[in-house]
Amino acid sequence: MPSTVDLHQFESFLEKGQTILTPGKRLARAIAEAWVRNQQYHQSVFFEDSVQPVDAWLERAWCNTVENGLLPMQWLLSAEQQTTLWHEIIRKDIAQNRNFTLTQPRAAALRAKTAWDKLSMQGGLEISSLWGHFQHEEDCRIFSRWARQFAAQLKKIDGVTRYQAYGQLLSLPAQSTPVALYGFPDLPPVTMRALEHLCDLQLVAPKESIRSDPAPRVRAFPTREDELAAAATWAHEMSQRSDYRSAIVLLDLERDRNQLEYFLRAQFGCLDAQYNDLPVNFSTGMPLGTTPMFRDALLALEWEVRPLLRSDWVALMRSPFFPGLLRNPSPNDLQLVERLFKSGVTEISLDQTLHFLTRYTSDSPLKTILLNIRGDRSHRKKKNLAVWAAWIRQRLQVWGWPCRESLDSIEYQQINRFDDSLDALAELSSVLPKQGHEEALTQWRRSLSNMPFQPKTPYDSVQVMGPLEVIGLEFDGIWVCGVQQGSLPRPPRLNGFLPASLQKRLNFSDLNAAQLHAQGQKALEIWDAASTDTIVSYHQMDRGLPRQPSVLVTVPKASNESGWFPPSRWQASRQVEDMPWDERIPLDTSEHAGGSSLIRDQAACGFRAFISHRLKVTRLGGEAFGFTAIERGLLLHEMMFYLWRDLGSQSALLDLSKQLLQERIERAATVALKKLEDDASRCGYSLRARVGESCWQLERAFSREVVEAWMIQERNREHPFTVVSLEEESVLKLSGLELTLRPDRIDRLEDGRLIVIDYKSTAPAKSRWLGPRPQEPQLPLYTFLDPALEGIAFAPLARESQFIFLGNDLGLTKTPDRGLAHQTAGWAGDWEELISKWSSALALLAEAFVEGDPNIDPTPGACQHCELKSVCRIEQLRQTDRSLSFVENETPK
Amino acid sequence: MSERDQDNRLRAIDPTQSFCVSAPAGSGKTELLTQRLLALLARVNRPEQVLAITFTRKAASEMSSRVIEKLDQARRLTPAQLPHEATTRALAQSLLAHAESLDWQLDESTLNIRTIDSFCHEITRQMPIVSGVGGISEAVDDATPLYESAVNQLLAQSGDENDTGNALRLLLHHFDNRWVRVRELLVSLLARRGDWAPHIGQHQDPIGAEAILFDSVANLIRCRLAATCIGLNEHFAELCEVLDEARETLGLPALMLTSDAAALEDWRSMVDVLLTATGEWRKPGGISIRQGFEKGSEAKSRFLNLLKAFRGNERLRDHLIEVRQLPSMQRHGQGWSLVVAVSSLLPVLQAHLLLVFQKTGVVDHTHIALAACDALGPDDSPSPIAERLDYQIEHILVDEFQDTAHSQAEFLRRLTRDWSDHNATGSAPRTLFVVGDAMQSIYGFRYADVALFMRIQKAGLSGLKLSPLTLTQNFRSRPAVIDWVNETFAALMGEGEDLDQGRVRHVNAIATRKNGTEADREGVHLNLFAEESSTREATRIAMQIEELRAARPEASIAILVRVKSHTASILPELLARGIDCDGDALQSQAEQVIIQDLLSLCRWLENPADDVAALALLRSPWVGLTLNSLALLYESREEKPLNLLTAGERDAAVRLPVEEQQRLQHLISVLNWANRTRDRLSLPIWIEQIWLRLKGPATALPAELTSVRLFLDALRRAEASGTGLNTDRISEDLSHVSMDSAASAQSVKVMTLHKAKGLEFDYVFLPALHKRPRANSRELLRWHWHEGPASTGLLIAADDQEKNAPTLYNYLNWLQKMKQHEELKRLLYVGVTRAREGAFLSGTIKASGDKQEVTVSTGSLLSLLQHNIDGAPVEPVDDLVAASLAFSGPATVGRKARKGSYRITNAALEQFPEGFINRPSMPTQSPVCVNGLGQDNRLERILGVVTHRVLERLSAHFSLPTEITTEVGTWIRANVINARLDSADAKQIEAACTEMIANTLRCPNGRWLLGKHPEAHSELKMMRREDGEIRRYIVDRTFFDEQEGVRWIIDYKTSSPQPGENQEDFKIRELSHYRDQLDTYADLLEGYPWRFEGPIKAALYFPAIAALACQQ
Ligand code: SF4
């Protein structure tokens, strides 16, 4: 149901063919339509601009004057062109003046535009004569510098701003065409003067309330949500009455719009199937640039400029508007994404994607497009923005955008704004020099963010609008939301770029509290008069903070109850059953079950082992920054491998001079790094490129240092040793489970005893080997490989560390070995006991795995970095099972 | 009320004086602030001239509400009950009179009560350029992603061959090339740049920075040595003499115990003689020839006398311990080079952050605070603030000043820097009123420095003297509580103050209430448990709460903890007993199970390659596949990750039990619907709809619905901010959203001690006192603002990892530990003083060894109560355990007790209305293919507009020219120029238009249609009602041709034949293309009551080729 007006107020003018001017478009439209509706059925009406917004009328008048040669040949800059011009001036000024910078030059440009408009809307002022006032305050002084450049630029391009143009109209001979003007809100001084100069103005006063009770109904709500939900419910109820026209006015339209839309959708049943049929007309919408279709278009184009963050890359790949990998993924596509993520990249470039596609897929639409784009160099040179606009169109055509099989009505309306957005970009070429690729996209992004998009629906039973848009219209019912202190009346505001004294002298209306108060009061009266059923409402709390009603409303005695939550569609009787107990699922075959990590996971948590080693669920690789712990571990392992492969024994090490050792370490580092890079390259990426050259070199230096320091430990070992095994694979059968083990190194001491050594890049505690559920079971597992093994040791390849070991008289460190009982804090008295305890503990763990026992029984601390919380639902279990309620960061005992 | 307090309170509302009020817990601070505010407002010309600053929005809004409430009460003449209310009433009434005389509208928006953040924001808004902000900036609460971007950019420079590259490589090498760690450290530094940024100016050179730092350290050493010297008092000279004698015996040179920094090592030698390695006074038996004192020598007996005199002087011992910690002045150690490197990097890092701010258009609160400070200008050229704010701030009140950070204090200093000069002129005085309580300063981790409060108390601010006032009466707690607090904290805090170490003085409170009759519920009780067993403690607390609830149902109860995780064992116990809880120490939204499920759903929708998310979905209550089914599905798969959408087609899926198949198929059909509707519904609505289709409400507990609502709110925020379906960000956002307090007044507040500040409860539980929060990793930088009598300066040091050397970092680390220890005491103070009736402290202790010595971990709150622990009875626990067991059965581990895990029933899944999931989605338009983007025809469109306009003008011209006249040329140019084209395009359009117009003027048809006719209109705007809607049209040209008796409709088209196309074919093509349009116009014109009647004919006119095509 369209908005309407009280035609009686305007009829006499319309009948006479006299022009009516309104403050905004909406009222102009409503008057014209009301008049047409009033005519006989189906009759065409012609309308020589009888009702127009003031600005459109004055602009036309100015254009005519220029066309007639009565004013110099000039053009009127659009708001966006003005802001861009200001931005450009500010940008250059910052570049030239090294003593100041701005975090938000764009915001400064917008404020500069406002300040300029404020000055020029005074009318009759010679702006250039005012600069003297601007020299006492730094902000004003700098603004005046920019403003002079702005004026010069305008002159250079023969441009004018709106209020300047109105000011120029005052130089014409006065006219007295009779014109009616709707009398609220107040117009800027120069607009009024121009109108008075060109017309014989007749003011149409806003309608007075006809109700005997002068004040509108005031309703109070506990929270903002309650208030908006109630307004939506009301609008829906009203829409059930035939021919009822209702409007919701939001004083904070920008903030409340989306939330209100949600409540309206819920009320009108437009949350899914009828999503596009919400019978509500919103006076504003979301910026076009944030609609999914344009959001993704921007992403695709910006991908050519720089790599995308992972999250953006995934967004583009799943976008329904692009033929990305995740739109309708094949198993191969999913695997490709997984591979890419496994490489640890934080950002994904177009080239990298193309590289993966070439390597792992045959033909795909995405690959063809990327190849096409890569082969094209048209984006390289700086160009005029109009040319860039054409380039964007062509590029998106290459992408096949928007390649959704069919568009719904909202998407259809969005794509229809594409041309407008490119026009807006092209228009900027008149104020900007040639731009590069990236700047052009930035400008398009801005253009898109300045274009509000609001889908049109065929039938509107409710209007939602801002406080001024409703002025002059009539409804059967109006609900004004958010009548709070601070919103009505508006608090006075100074403009930061204009001297305060000047603003006062010029009597800026924004500054005059009394005037603002009166305006607020007047607005309230007009809203009240605009329907026979006007409700104004406020809320008492917003995001946990109390809010007060406007001083202009009388507070009702009782506040309304909330009651919208939970919505009825969320109310359902609980229909759940206990999750069936997870039965054991014995392993079919224990062959090649896994490595020591299987027992480690089983020790930490049966469920984790089940998911990771039975279901083999993979984790999406995280983002890596520099070398990951695993990569570093591999590098050090490799270096040690090469060194000991060549050295073979402690005596060989002792025979080496320091310099020779350094050379070998250097060589080992080179070989190990190469191996790492080769491994990465086999997985489709370059590790060196990912970490960057300086990180690569620093890692080389660091690993050399660490290994060199470590070799001193090896030199100083008391008992001479020979290395008997390096990374040799063995198979261990444990409780029927076949485990593939690969000890880093096994040394034979002179007396024939063997020690197994595991390299670590940090120094873990011994306690991690002990107990029925050891956190680091690999070394204990290795002891089963050879009965001659009588010692296990971690070699922590980190600064200032030394062997951590279990075993008698191993001679690994200078500190005298204490007995095993001491070393194991009493867990085992001697090596035999230790082996036997490990044997039973590890056998039990292996058995549990073989039996397929997915028990959720994490050791303390196990869950801390586990990614399976959402699968095992440990948090839910903890709420009822106290045995699981230990704190995650407590260290295990 | 004590007379002194009364007197102080009266003085505090004297609007002509500035005060610094020390207001301990329960001393009625809020009332006093309100009174002062009312008193000040009654003296100013505009209400904005009184600025009240708080640190939280909540505090600001509470203060406003309180003032408004007092004014309302005064208006309504509600009788005042208590004496202090009478004072407030009188003040409110005189303010009302004053407001009326000046015609003020007194409401919350005119009261200038704001948070310091919002005030800073206002300043930057008013001074966009000098503040360096540029305009209105949105400050984000969590700026970590911005910091990370800045740090990434900085680290990307690590390969540069310049100072920055060198410094970065040094730093990275120092941290073993662990980039993640370095990034973390730099990010945490950026978060704290409010402290260092003002001192490490962007343009300061590294060498200058090093010199300044060096001076600051020397000053610090001088200052601390001088203080030690004073501590030694009259014994100093004798001590020097005796020590020199002893050293002579050892053949060592005499000590140079001056306060010069160079003398530090000599001072340390002196300390070593006086103190043992652990910092205790040496016992007489420990004095021997080793220190140079021969047995029986006079020197030895003199020294022993001195030692005797010193013993018990804890202050002196502290000084001596500090001498040991003071940093050495070797400039070239690794620590120094690291400090220099980091100091030189900080400005670069800051510059990168600025770039990130510029790029993203958002900033952090620190940026606004620093910008506001900048906007006020340096002392030598202050900004005219009154001018910008449109009012002169005459009075400032600051609440909770003990929680001020340095940057905030600096901001206040600049704001008030000319006030003492102003007051000296005899004009109406400007005043500063600062309220705080050093004993409640607990925000050290948020950069607050209690020393600022102590300093302002003593020395005022920017020359403005603040009279110190101390309130001592406590209106809140029972005497039994107050006595315990007085006794305990007098011993813990003592009388002494130390600004550097953040040590505050204890102020005794005087009770105003009387003790009640229920001794076991009043006062402070310490319950100790025999061994580490949080469940026992939890059971005890839960039982006590039940008892309290039974005895006093209306009483407010709170459980206060240091960190959230300390409630882990208590919450299940409360939950099991049906005790409602709310508060910030409960889990955050992000930790709620339902939120985790929704996040898994979003994670899969975000990236279908996320195998864990897929599995989580399959295990969620909405699906609930058994592990058996999962094993079937997963173990047989060849591909990884699992493709959920096609999982139902797998052989394995067919082998699932029928009910399980149904579950899987249901999920798949919902996900298919989700895929089809992706990006068609707004994000929160889309997710809600998916959840509804998954039958979410049927599996949710009523309390979980609130979580769902908050989740959808977070999605709404994500959508509005443009981040969209980025699950990590959404999860991060939710981690800041605490459980909504839907709880009743009956619910127990479970809060962190920090959040509880400013609140009060009848009963307070402080459990888990034996626990410590997780130790923080070593910070990359430590700094300390040193203010000595002769010098001030920021000391800054980087972690040199030399754990035992006397480096600056280690000194600052030590100092930090001292500060934290002091703050720990205050935290306990805050906790206990929340109680009106009773406080129940508890923790567990471990007794070991033969003597059963009790050990309490240092750093825990319980460690502060060592006195109370010694000899305190330990709770018998057996009955508690029994109570607990009886209540909920044995706590079990293992497969039989997995209660709490549930899934939707198959019956529920069957209940979906037919076709609900696949409800026909929105009607779609016909496919838009590549060509749908159309051609770039902007210039043609502009040419059309300009040509139409010129033709319109020509048709209205009194005499139609035969060629392009100057006048027509001007029309063309004016319209082209107004089309906002660049010059090349403008020229092209002008030429093309000129040609078309010239063609038309030459063409007889053109002249005919532009000529004079009856009822002729150009660009005729028409409207009509069609199916209830109003439609608008513009007809290019219409007229009545009297000769033919025909009404013509002409539509101009600026197109021309394609290459190779002949004119006739072109006309036919165009006519057929525009047939509908012309028909509509004809219909439109037919519906208008014209004067001249006649048949209607329509035609297209092509100025480019000067041709008319008539429709048949
Ligand atoms: S989160 Fe904890 S309980 Fe869950 S799988 Fe991981 S370790 Fe096991």
pTM equals: 0.90
Look at residue A883 in the predicted model and tell me its pLDDT: 55
Give B632's contacts in chain A (Cβ within 8 Å). none
Instruction: Tell me the shortest Cα–Cα distance from B854 to chain A, in angstroms.
Output: 19
Query: b/e string for B283-304 if b means 16 or more Cβ within 10 A?
Result: eeeebeeebbbeeebebbebbb
DSSP state of A614: I
CB-CB under 8 Å, B390 with A492: yes
Q: Which pair of structure tokens corresponds to residue B666?
A: 């249901």
Give A334's contacts in chain B (Cβ within 8 Å). 608-609, 639, 641, 643
Look at residue B931 in the predicted model and tell me its pLDDT: 45
Nearest CA to ligand 1 atom 7: A863
Segment 318-337 of chain A within 8 Å of chain B by CB: 318-321, 326, 328-335, 337
Q: How confident is the model at residue B584 (pLDDT cuts 50, 70, 90)?
A: confident
Quick one: average pLDDT of B639-649?
87
Task: Please tell me if residue A814 touches chain B, with a CB cutoff of 8 Å.
Answer: no
Q: How confident is the model at residue B846 (pLDDT cuts 50, 70, 90)?
A: confident
Task: Round to whole Å and give the CA distance between B187 and B151.
Answer: 7
CB-CB under 8 Å, B610 with A320: no
Give B974's contacts in chain A (Cβ within 8 Å). 63, 66-67, 73
Q: How confident is the model at residue B356 (pLDDT cuts 50, 70, 90)?
A: very high
Q: Is the CB of A866 under 6 A from ligand 1?
A: yes
CB-CB under 8 Å, B127 with A138: yes
Task: Please tell me if residue A275 touches chain B, with a CB cutoff of 8 Å.
Answer: yes
Which three-class secondary structure string do you get for B314-370? HHHHHHHHHHHHCCCCCCCCHHHHHHHHHHHHHHHHHHHHHHHHHHHCEEEHHHHHH
Look at residue A213 in the predicted model and tell me its pLDDT: 61
Of residues A137, A338, A855, nearest to B641 (C-beta): A338
Look at residue A144 in the predicted model and tell me its pLDDT: 95
Helix, strand or coil for residue B904? strand
Which of the residues in chain A have pLDDT under 50? 886-893
Q: Is the CB of A873 under 6 A from ligand 1?
A: no
| Cis amide leading into B468 (omega within 30) | no
CB-CB under 8 Å, B907 with A575: yes
| Counts for chain A of helices (H) and strands (E), in that order | 33, 26
Segment 342-381 of chain A within 8 Å of chain B by CB: none
Segment 554-573 of chain A within 8 Å of chain B by CB: 565-566, 569-573
Bigger pLDDT: B891 vs A564 = A564
pLDDT, tens digit, 9 for 90 and up, residues B687-731 = 999 999 999 999 998 878 988 999 999 999 999 888 899 999 999
The dihedral through the CA atoms of A229, A230, A232, A237 has a sign that is: positive
Look at residue A100 in the predicted model and tell me its pLDDT: 78
Closest CA to A112 of A94, A76, A139, A75: A139
**Strand pairing partners for B362?**
B138
For the residues of A453-468, what is the DSSP string, one character each? E----S--SEEEE-TT
Task: Please tell me if residue A262 touches chain B, with a CB cutoff of 8 Å.
Answer: yes
- Which of A870, A878, A879, A890 is most worth mutating to test chain B (most B CB atoms within 10 A of its CB)? A870
Give A575's contacts in chain B (Cβ within 8 Å). 695, 698-699, 904-905, 907-908, 911
Q: Is the CB of A868 under 6 A from ligand 1?
A: yes
Task: Round to whole Å and give the CA distance between B407 and B196.
Answer: 9
Nearest atom of ligand 1 to the alpha carbon of A857: 3
For A826, list phi and psi in degrees, rounded to 5. 85, 0
Of residues B383, B597, B975, nearest to A138 (C-beta): B383
On whether the CB atoms of residues A304 and A437 are closer than 8 A, the answer is yes
CB-CB under 8 Å, A883 with B981: no
- Amino acid (one-letter) located at B872: A
Q: Is the CB of A317 under 6 A from ligand 1?
A: no
Q: Is the CB of A863 under 6 A from ligand 1?
A: yes
ipTM: 0.94
- Given a cut of 90, is residue B76 above it in pLDDT? no
CB-CB under 8 Å, B900 with A877: yes
Task: Round to whole Å and give the CA distance between B770 and B624.
Answer: 41
Instruction: Tell me the shortest Cα–Cα distance from A440 to chain B, in angstroms.
Output: 15
* Closest chain B residue to the Cα of A333, Cα to Cα: B609
Of residues A111, A320, A876, nearest to B679 (C-beta): A320
Task: Please tell me if residue B891 touches chain A, with a CB cutoff of 8 Å.
Answer: yes
Q: How confident is the model at residue B427 (pLDDT cuts 50, 70, 90)?
A: confident
On whether the CB atoms of residues A639 and A670 are closer than 8 A, the answer is no
Q: How confident is the model at residue B828 (pLDDT cuts 50, 70, 90)?
A: very high
Nearest atom of ligand 1 to the alpha carbon of A866: 6
Segment 3-22 of chain A within 8 Å of chain B by CB: none
Quick one: average pLDDT of B154-175?
92
Task: Round to whole Å and give the CA distance between B659 and B906.
Answer: 7
Look at residue B964 in the predicted model and tell me its pLDDT: 93
Give A698's contacts in chain B (Cβ within 8 Å). 158, 169, 172-173, 177
CB-CB under 8 Å, A545 with B936: no
Task: Round to whole Å and give the CA distance between B103 and A287.
Answer: 43
Task: Round to whole Å and give the CA distance between B54 and B32.
Answer: 15
Give B688's contacts in chain A (Cβ within 8 Å). 271
Quick one: average pLDDT of B142-158?
93
- Given a cut of 90, is residue B1027 above it in pLDDT? no
* Closest chain A residue to the Cα of B983, Cα to Cα: A430
Look at residue B204 in the predicted model and tell me its pLDDT: 52
* Closest chain A residue to the Cα of B129, Cα to Cα: A139
Task: Round to whole Å and give the CA distance between B985 and A85.
Answer: 20
- Which of B129, B689, B738, B804 is most worth mutating to test chain A (most A CB atoms within 10 A of its CB)? B129
CB-CB under 8 Å, A43 with B1087: yes
Q: Is the CB of A856 under 6 A from ligand 1?
A: yes
- Interface A:B, Cβ pairs < 8 A: 537
Segment 211-250 of chain A within 8 Å of chain B by CB: none
Look at residue B93 in the predicted model and tell me its pLDDT: 94
Task: Please tell me if residue B859 touches chain A, with a CB cutoff of 8 Å.
Answer: no
Task: Please tell me if residue A252 touches chain B, with a CB cutoff of 8 Å.
Answer: no
What end-to-end distance do the CA atoms of chain A give, in Å?
Answer: 72
pLDDT, tens digit, 9 for 90 and up, residues B783-817 = 787 777 766 777 777 777 777 788 888 898 899 88
For A258, list phi and psi in degrees, rounded to 5. -65, -40
Helices B683-693 and B702-721, interaxial angle, to 10°? 150
pLDDT, tens digit, 9 for 90 and up, residues B764-773 = 999 999 988 7
Task: Please tell me if residue B357 touches chain A, with a CB cutoff of 8 Å.
Answer: yes
pLDDT, tens digit, 9 for 90 and up, residues B190-221 = 988 887 777 765 435 666 767 777 888 888 89
* Closest chain A residue to the Cα of B977, Cα to Cα: A75
Nearest atom of ligand 1 to the alpha carbon of A611: 5
CB-CB under 8 Å, A275 with B135: no
